[in-house]
Structure 1
Amino acid sequence: MQLNPDGKQWTSLAKTESSLCYLLTVRVIRARNIHQADVLSHTDCYVSLWLPTASNDKFQTKAISNCKDPVWNETFYFRIQSQVKNVLELALYDKDVVTQDDHLFTVYFDIAKLSLGEEVFMHFKCDSQRQEELEVGFALDNISGPPETIITNGVLVSRKICCLEVQVVEKKKKKEKKSKKEFSFKVQGSYEGTQDIVLGSNLLFSSSSPAKFHYARYKQPTLDVTLPEKKRSPSSHSRVCDTGSPNVELHSIPSGKNMILAEDKRFDLYMKAEDCPDRLDVRLGFDLCIQEQDFLCKRKNYVIPALRKVLQLEQDLLDHETPVVAVMTTGGGMRSLTALYGSLRGLKKLGVLDCATYLTGLSGTTWTMSNLYRDADWSQKDLDEQISEARKHMTKCKINSFSFEYLKYYKKQLCQRKREGRKTSFIDLWGLVLESFLHDGKDNHRLSDQQRAIDRGQNPLPIYTAVNVKNNYSTLDFKEWVEFTPYEVGLQKYGVFVRTEDFGSEFFMGRLMKKVPESRICFLEGMWSSLFSFNVLYIWNLSHSSEDFWHRWTRDQIDNIEEEPPLPVRPQELRTRLRTPAGPLGSALRAVLTDRACIAQEHSFLRGLQMHSDYLENPRFCRWKDTVLDTFPNQLTPSDEFLSLVDTGFFINTSIMPLLKPERKVDVILHLNYSAGSQIQPLDQTCKYCSEQGIVFPRVDVSEEDRKKLKECYLFDGSETPGAPVLLFFPLVNDTFQKYKAPGQRRSESEMEDGNVDLYGRCSPYSTYSLQYTEKEYDRLVQLAEYNILNNQHLIIRALRTAVARKRQIKE
């Protein structure tokens, strides 16, 4: 169990352990038959060694000139943590004087293959045709000193960090002329990096506020100090740096003891290092946070009587008989915003809204959700007031949002975010424009404020979704699901979460370093619906439904390679691999294809955390493991300073993934689809994704005839897939609504026009990029979405009864 900074408890599966460290010795011996990279001469080879789990530095051998069989015989040492996935990268370069050094290839070697106390000499077969080979010796030995205390959830590891304080005390003679002295301190790999102190005072003695550095002791960093320049003599015109600048290896400093770093006639330098507490400000765990567990208990007070009424039961369901029902929505701009109001009003009229425990959204439906949850009791009302308010904003002219006064307001807000330490982009501006589209004036609402709307369990728990992406990769190659609730924000793949109030703040190794004010929700809405985060590859995929072109011409070549002697490979260990980078043309093409127009970047709360040695075998990680970098631990999200977040629709237009988290135990999902184009495509994509990931999901069987003309609702009970939720699929179609204004009530001749709702035609007013509707267009879309719910009450009741029967059967 962990405590929040405010004293509230978080459930956590993380464990605090004492774990041994080892000494890794790497001897780079030689290479053979290296192919000629230069036209006029053989290669000038050197090897770069990078083990980021052990050191901040990249080391390299000397360069051997004009030789295809270079011999180095250089030795390097690393202190490694046994519970961390340590993958050594050995990169071979051809040194160039004029141009950038040529990167020939990189060998990835998992240190876990080595046995303690043994020395092995490895021959990595880099190219069998040319018989290229890299020879390296390895030894793994015990190291003196106490074990390291780590905190881990089996996927991520948080390690011990220290805080170094450096203080400058200035000495001055009474008659000495006032002058400024500038000191520069640097700890590479620390959270702070570099800090400067400038002194200058008429006082006899003056001291600075201490410069602080938070760093990982295991990486054995060095404090680099640059002292002020001082004059040689009054006649000299030059100023030189003091050559006595001290550099200190921080791992040798005793904890908690004040030490003199340097003494001078002008000043004294003092330093003190102390261990930071083991308490984390992130939650490492895969279970639901305790606030959500508490909500689930309270929500049953609304769900159980609602189910009794809807299903016409004689008595209340028992706790174990009560299904968890979720309403899931898709994006679609203003179309989805408007249609969701109608769907929710339909569910409210049927009494089903009070049966729902969760409500998830992305893109345009997040705008509806964030509006609704400003009202602490919205689902207990008839929704007419909320629909009327949204109508006012949907039908108003949007040109005023680009007036001079608004532009000044936008600039002021963006400048404020920069002062807070955020990276701003066009996405933030889009969020402010949305605020003006959907509200009157500034909206101070924040996501954490929505806790008021669920504190008694009176409304479904809202979950908003986004995906984390990476530069130089498409969403098909790299994406990670991110979920937002009023309680916390997190990535289920890694089992790491932060309080919603702390999202956007700066973290290091799981500790909160700099608190940044929580964003107003309009900035999150801009990110959740970042329509402008597309790239060329995304457009290519829309038209070709294939990435063959991308894979063939722009991807680095990665192959498993042979090694001698062959080492045993256990399931959690990685095969030795060789990466050959794409050529200059391929790299340039890759940059063009994957560069996104704009992206929302927030400080990563995973920064500094490391992957556990067995993370690839952790069943929770495996459930969401689907990126090309999942077996490259040095390049996963914990190594990034920022999260790069985009609209979930850039992968699949669905917000269903948080509901498939096993811990939420969702039994029934009402899938409300508002996609443009094919209504069935997002569901097909979800089925394919779940099948590939091994996620339990009901079989979706829609006939070809139905695919040409979809009905209003489909029930997929998941009977052939044990453990799958019951799925009710509501495509946004205009079927019987054309002839019926309400279930069982035919339209008169004068009312037929109201049933003519052109959803997806060329002249449709409901395009995803439409920003304004007429009052008739708005009203008709709301009424259509409401009608499609009401007209399929029988299927909703059948789905709920099926779920109750299964819950009872499991208990028996």
Structure 2
Amino acid sequence: MWLNPEGEQWTSLTKIQSSLCYLLTVRVIRARNIHQADVLSQTDCYVSVWLPTASSDKFQTKAIKNCKDPVWNETFYFRIQSQVKNVLELALYDKDVITQDDHLFTVYFDIAKLSLGEEVFMHFKCDSQRQEELEVGFALDNISGPPETIITNGVLVSRKICCLEVQVVEKKKKNEKKSLSSKKQFSFRVQGSYEGTQDIMLGSDLIFSSSSPAKFHYARYKQPTLDVTLPGKKRPPSLCSRVYDIGSPNVELHSIPSGENMILAEDKGFDLYAKAEDCLCSSPDHLDVRLGFDLCVQEQDFLCKRRNYVAPALKKVLQLQQDLLNHETPVVAIMTTGGGMRSLTALYGSLRGLKKLGVLDCATYLTGLSGTTWTMSNLYRDADWSQKDLDKQISEARKHMTKCKINSLSLEYLKYYKKQLCQRKREGRRTTFIDLWGLVLESLLHDGKDNHRLSDQQRAIDHGQNPLPIYTAVNVKNNYSTLDFKEWVEFTPYEVGLQKYGVFVRTEDFGSEFFMGRLMKKVPESRICFLEGMWSSLFSFNVLYIWNLSHSSEDFWHRWTRDQIDNIEEEPLLPLKLHELQTRLFTPPGLLGNAFRSALTDRLCISQEHNFLKGFQMHNDYLGNTHFCRWKDTVLDTFPNQLTQSDEFLSLVDTGFFINTSIMPLLKPERKVDVILHLNYSAGSQIQALDQTCKYCSEQGILFPRVDLSEEDRKKLKECYLFDGAETPGAPILLFFPLINDTFQKYKAPGQKRSESEMEDGKVDLYGCCSPYSTYSIQYTEKAYDRLVQLSEYNILNNEDLIMQALRTAVARKRQIKK
């Protein structure tokens, strides 16, 4: 059956299927010529065996003392899902009694190399010079039992989860009284479950009866164990989950009959029961995330409604004789860049200029990042903002831009900030300095507490009356630079998601806790000021970002900041299969390398939200998925165990830490954008972000018009450039508006020259050393604010001809495509 996640229309992007599981046998045989890690002794080697797609546990062989050619001959078994990308990690360690065990190397082996029903013995050549070698035997066999039902979009796989209920029933004697001394604490742990560890206290008011059992949600395929610590026993260390105190029952959960109560332990004072049941998972309707690469139903509905505004608006501005048919109506998008208060202010002017030309009603999308998200979130409080003139909104923003900002650090505000941060922490969020920055922004841009939320903006687009707003951020990782790891994240009033993985959640659920696509804990939706803080997180820089401001490459630092990964030889050479990963060797850096890497890549602070991809697994063919390949560009894309679905939190930063552009959501083929108005508000080079976008799209195979600017133009930019994309069929038409002060110096409006007394108003210093428009400036004078609004509005109005030319070309192309 092929369904979309809402189950409302047929699609081939998300499917439910029955898929076989196999039994993988891993026999760690021996190693040869292992180099000495300790100065005073030979290596005491053992091998850690980890397959995270099959088990939460890391298994290990015994340690062989003082031997460079250890022999283990130990066997491990895993139940694996055939549709999941299973990469086995074999890590060799040197055991130390006093210090931490030395990690010598890790071999990554793709199970997809194995053939069903065959046994192979692999020799991994780990170091050709020292002739280090690891010998491992593998076998892949059918396994008894029914196939597993999975849900997949070709990149991610959602698997069956179960719910375990653990119940303690206290046996009380007659006339027995409760006392503090009779308290009994039970500790329960299911490794890899959503809940992790739960405690139950008996002999107090916290008695768990049959109506309130302790619950654990876990993936059945991992076949975890319920670890029980009884009263008076010590809880085992979290890193030693297979070492227990005698007398504590530990039960393999797959041995509990489904739907039946099972007695785990009986005692004079209590009985311990457990019950395991399957959770609903037979349909995408039971997932609380949307798996798919198409547009959500709400956005598709919006596009139909918006066309009713766009088609007559285009007919009017282009002075067409006939109404535009649906297939003739181009999708026009307004795209902005960041720039702090400068971009907030300039966007108001640009939008007022587009409104006066009638082009604002022709736009279907409006995207932003950093400072322009502040303007957008202000505008979308008004359900009909684009149907009115913008003078009221511009005047309101002027009041806040010119007010004294010192009050934001008053004792009253500091108490308010602390109260709000404590409330977020109580809700279960991980608060950071970015949340405080969001609260400061709220005080800078509003008169008091702002209860507006992103999902509230649905009122402003439900009838198609305004362009659909899209806000952007990037997801990053610790220990990696932004150039090495970044993933695009988009926010709309309907949903938040990562297009690379094809996974989205409702906007009101963003920040809540998920497991395997199911909503586990609902957290109240954030007020939009906290999202604004994250969208414009000026404080998420690191040393490498500062380096990149003055250099175009990180090559000088890669020896310190990139993992040492090498493809290695293996014997025998197995037949090549589609989308299999090469066997690779990871050599860990030393203490100095780790410390230096952290110093270079650690970010000052970062916004963290619960990861709604948590628990998903990568599909066996994910690297062959065209949607994933379009957006994959990180150094970890071929390491499925380390991609975002394995993280507890998303780490989100301002998109400007990669490229100062919000264009990527518009290049999603499903949105079919025909014209992009690129409104640039960057500091410094006005062309840099556009050049970076062109380079990125070329590397990723994303259709984008060729930007061909002469050296003369690059030295002295005009107010607008039209790149029609004629040489790149399928690419959108691009209108590029750099933020410059050109003819505005002599003209106060198109065709209206300034008088001598008005010449001073045309002297707008945008980027000089004494400019009032620095990215880090938070307060403008009234004159500075008014001049920037007027300049950005003028630059739009003065290029009406180019705008109309782009729209006419788009309409003509739509008609030609239909023919």
Normalised by the shorter chain, which TM-score bucket?
over 0.9
Q: CA deviation at 1:622?
A: 0.3
Q: Distance in 2 between matches of 1:666 and 1:232?
A: 58
Q: CA deviation at 1:554?
A: 3.4
Q: Distance in 2 between matches of 1:364 and 1:614?
A: 39
- Quickly say closer, same or farther: Cα 1:235–1:295, change in 2 above 3 A: closer
Moved more, 689-698 or 63-72: 63-72
Moved more, 634-643 or 163-172: 163-172
Fraction of identical pairs, as percent: 90
Q: CA deviation at 1:203?
A: 13
Q: Distance in 1 between matches of 2:465 and 2:324?
A: 18
CA offsets, 1:362-408, max 9 Å, x none? 00000000000000000000100000000000000000000000000
SS at match of 1:10: coil
Q: CA deviation at 1:40?
A: 2.4
Q: CA deviation at 1:586?
A: 1.2
Q: Distance in 2 between matches of 1:710 and 1:122?
A: 61
Q: Distance in 2 between matches of 1:797 and 1:199?
A: 76
Q: CA deviation at 1:6?
A: 11
Q: Distance in 1 between matches of 2:551 and 2:6?
A: 51
Q: Distance in 2 between matches of 1:239 and 1:428?
A: 39
Q: Distance in 1 between matches of 2:264 and 2:760?
A: 85
Select 2:498's aligned residue among 491, 501, 510.
491
- Quickly say closer, same or farther: Cα 1:234–1:744, change in 2 above 3 A: closer
CA offsets, 1:140-174, max 9 Å, x none? 00011111110000000000000001111111112
Q: Is the 8 A contact 1:668 1:726 kept in 2?
A: yes
Q: CA deviation at 1:27?
A: 0.5
SS at match of 2:722: strand
Q: Is the 8 A contact 2:434 2:605 kept in 1?
A: yes
Q: Distance in 2 between matches of 1:236 and 1:101?
A: 14
Q: Distance in 2 between matches of 1:14 and 1:761?
A: 53
Q: CA deviation at 1:95?
A: 1.4
Q: CA deviation at 1:319?
A: 0.6
Q: CA deviation at 1:121?
A: 0.3
Q: Is the 8 A contact 1:42 1:66 kept in 2?
A: yes
- Quickly say closer, same or farther: Cα 1:770–1:240, change in 2 above 3 A: closer
Q: CA deviation at 1:264?
A: 1.6
- Quickly say closer, same or farther: Cα 1:232–1:249, change in 2 above 3 A: closer
* TM-score, with structure 2 as normaliser: 0.96
Q: Which residue of 2 aligns with 1:542?
A: 549
Q: Distance in 2 between matches of 1:299 and 1:514?
A: 35
- Quickly say closer, same or farther: Cα 1:239–1:320, change in 2 above 3 A: closer
Q: Is the 8 A contact 2:480 2:562 kept in 1?
A: no
Q: Distance in 2 between matches of 1:667 and 1:251?
A: 54
Q: Distance in 1 between matches of 2:253 and 2:239?
A: 37
Q: Distance in 2 between matches of 1:591 and 1:495?
A: 31
Q: CA deviation at 1:544?
A: 2.2
Q: Is the 8 A contact 2:344 2:371 kept in 1?
A: yes
Q: Which residue of 2 aligns with 1:697?
A: 704
- Quickly say closer, same or farther: Cα 1:2–1:364, change in 2 above 3 A: farther
- Quickly say closer, same or farther: Cα 1:130–1:757, change in 2 above 3 A: same
- Quickly say closer, same or farther: Cα 1:196–1:3, change in 2 above 3 A: farther
Q: Distance in 2 between matches of 1:423 and 1:94?
A: 36
Q: CA deviation at 1:665?
A: 0.2
Cα RMSD between the aligned structures? 3.4
Q: Is the 8 A contact 1:184 1:197 kept in 2?
A: yes
Q: Is the 8 A contact 2:167 2:209 kept in 1?
A: no
Q: Distance in 2 between matches of 1:655 and 1:329?
A: 6
- Quickly say closer, same or farther: Cα 1:726–1:744, change in 2 above 3 A: same
- Quickly say closer, same or farther: Cα 1:464–1:101, change in 2 above 3 A: same
CA offsets, 1:402-450, max 9 Å, x none? 0000000000000000000000000000000000000010000000000
Q: Is the 8 A contact 2:4 2:13 kept in 1?
A: no
Q: CA deviation at 1:99?
A: 1.7
Q: Which residue of 1 aligns with 2:172?
A: 172
CA offsets, 1:511-562, max 9 Å, x none? 0000000000000000000000001111011122221222123322111111
CA offsets, 1:330-383, max 9 Å, x none? 000000000000000000000000000000000000000000000000000010
CA offsets, 1:125-147, max 9 Å, x none? 11111111111000000011111
Q: CA deviation at 1:761?
A: 0.2
CA offsets, 1:563-592, max 9 Å, x none? 100012223100101111122211110001
Q: Which runs of 5+ in 2 are unaligned?
A: 279-283
Q: CA deviation at 1:267?
A: 1.1
- Quickly say closer, same or farther: Cα 1:226–1:519, change in 2 above 3 A: same
Q: CA deviation at 1:208?
A: 7.0
Q: Distance in 2 between matches of 1:229 and 1:388?
A: 69
SS at match of 1:804: helix
SS at match of 1:559: strand
Q: Distance in 1 between matches of 2:332 and 2:537?
A: 28
Q: Is the 8 A contact 1:27 1:138 kept in 2?
A: yes
- Quickly say closer, same or farther: Cα 1:238–1:223, change in 2 above 3 A: closer
Moved more, 265-274 or 594-603: 265-274
Q: Which residue of 1 aligns with 2:359?
A: 352
Residues 1:444 and 2:451 are matched in the alignment: yes
Q: CA deviation at 1:246?
A: 1.3
Moved more, 3-12 or 766-775: 3-12
Q: Is the 8 A contact 2:117 2:141 kept in 1?
A: yes
Q: CA deviation at 1:176?
A: 2.8
Q: Which runs of 5+ in 1 are unaligned?
A: none
SS at match of 2:301: helix
- Quickly say closer, same or farther: Cα 1:349–1:234, change in 2 above 3 A: closer
Q: Distance in 2 between matches of 1:670 and 1:232?
A: 61
- Quickly say closer, same or farther: Cα 1:611–1:697, change in 2 above 3 A: same
Q: CA deviation at 1:12?
A: 8.3
Q: CA deviation at 1:35?
A: 1.5
- Quickly say closer, same or farther: Cα 1:618–1:202, change in 2 above 3 A: closer
Residues 1:462 and 2:465 are matched in the alignment: no
- Quickly say closer, same or farther: Cα 1:208–1:262, change in 2 above 3 A: farther
CA offsets, 1:451-499, max 9 Å, x none? 0000100000000000000000011000000000000000000000000
Q: Is the 8 A contact 1:527 1:600 kept in 2?
A: yes
- Quickly say closer, same or farther: Cα 1:237–1:457, change in 2 above 3 A: closer
Q: Which residue of 2 aligns with 1:252?
A: 255
- Quickly say closer, same or farther: Cα 1:206–1:371, change in 2 above 3 A: closer
Q: Distance in 2 between matches of 1:239 and 1:654?
A: 50
Aligned ranges 1:293-312 → 2 under 5 Å:
293-312=300-319
- Quickly say closer, same or farther: Cα 1:28–1:440, change in 2 above 3 A: same
Aligned ranges 1:405-554 → 2 under 5 Å:
405-554=412-561
Q: Distance in 2 between matches of 1:202 and 1:213?
A: 22
Q: CA deviation at 1:229?
A: 2.5
